[in-house]
Amino acid sequence: MKILVINGPNINMLGIREKNIYGDNDYNSLCEMIRKEAHKLGCKVDFFQSNIEGEIITEIQKTIGVYDGIIINPAAYTHYSIGILDALKSVDVPAIEVHISNIHKREDFRKKSVTAEGCVGQISGLGFYGYILALRGLINLK
């Protein structure tokens, strides 16, 4: 099984930005944690991070015939990107949306996810472990 992990804007700033919300661990430690778990589970993971909406859309489109699942944290694009939603809906690749923080306990504008409609599920508020649950969830779907 091959999974693509997509992270949106400012996820590359983990460990630097808003540590009270996102913690002290950086983006590389997030990727390494996912990579180790994937290895244990016998699947392959690739990573993509971009601060640019169009690049994320293009990467989703490239998953057709290449990946068995997508783990996506659209970050700020969660709340308004119809383009990412349409890309998720246009590929026949199951996706799980992940958020490090609990978006439902934050500002009102963060409580609505337009991109979740294009996913088989959403995990929110469990920190980095949410990505592990998403990985296991995608494996469980197959």
Which amino acids are annotated catalytic? Answer: 22, 99
Amino acid in the structure at residue 131:
Y
Contact 34, 102 (CB under 8 A): no
Q: Name the region of 18 (left: φ>0; alpha: ψ -120 to 50; beta: rest).
A: left
How far apart are the C-alpha atoms of 111 and 102, rounded to whole Å?
9
How far apart are the C-alpha atoms of 11 and 1, rounded to whole Å?
25
Q: What are the backbone angles phi and psi of residue 136, rounded to the nearest 5°? A: -65, -35
CA separation, residue 59 to residues 37, 46, 56, 62, 84 (Å)? 23, 11, 5, 5, 10
